[in-house]
Amino acid sequence: MLPRAAALLALLLGRSAAAPPHIIFSLVDDLGSYNVGWRNANATSPNIDRLARGGTLLARHYAYKFCSPTRSALLSGRLPLHVNEDNPATIDSVGGVDLRMALLPQRLKAAADYYTVAIGKWHLGARQRANLPGRRGFDHHFGFLTGGEDHFTQVGYEAANAIDLWAADASDAAAREGGAPALGRNGTYSCELYAAEAARVVMAHDPSRPLFLYQAWHDT
């Protein structure tokens, strides 16, 4: 990992015997600097504003201009140049973060037995089983695998007009192999769909075990 990413992981986990923290990380596609209320009075974002007021603002941390390189860099701890999914045009093309690189959920599980959850957009490799969330360190995944979907129907833009909505859980051997279609769960506006799943995960989670919840919202 990059030195800064390694330092952040060490800070989160701590060097003492104190219990590691629960981590909820929201990654938002195409969110501009002035699309939030705490920077623009014309924008309405009360929940984000409340988090900003009660937290730490990292004003000099920049995201890449495209979505896949940003999420690849975040979860791998490496520069986008080295980990960007090449967005292949065909379903059998190779793409995704190099399998020799351990991702953040794998690091967290090894360091402190985190229960790891990914909800929303994946887009870190959807053409090979080895690149799917369940194979990259996530115990539970609910969301879509490609670069974009219709917010209301969950029909994938890169999925030949098919519904791109999947669920995978480490407790289910079949799902763990790559996920299973989330039958009957499409048809709800995506923000409500994924927010409800995140709330369910949090409410059902045993607080004695540290939780890493990665929420990847999409805008396309």
Give the residue numbers annotated as catalytic, written as ranges. Answer: 67, 123
Which 8-state DSSP code applies to residue 155? Answer: B
Distance (Å) of CA 21 to CA 13, 107, 118, 202:
7, 14, 17, 14
Distance (Å) of CA 35 to CA 46, 109, 166:
12, 34, 30
Tell me how far apart the alpha carbons of residues 34 and 41 are, in angstroms, rounded to a whole number: 9
Tell me how far apart the alpha carbons of residues 117 and 134 are, in angstroms, rounded to a whole number: 9
Token pair 């991702």 in the structure block, residue: 103
Closest to 198 (Cα-Cα) out of 184, 212, 187: 212
Single-letter residue type at 60 = R
Q: How far apart are the first and last CA of the chain?
A: 29
Is the separation of the CB atoms in 136 and 178 below 8 Å?
no
Closest to 135 (Cα-Cα) out of 168, 108, 182, 113: 168
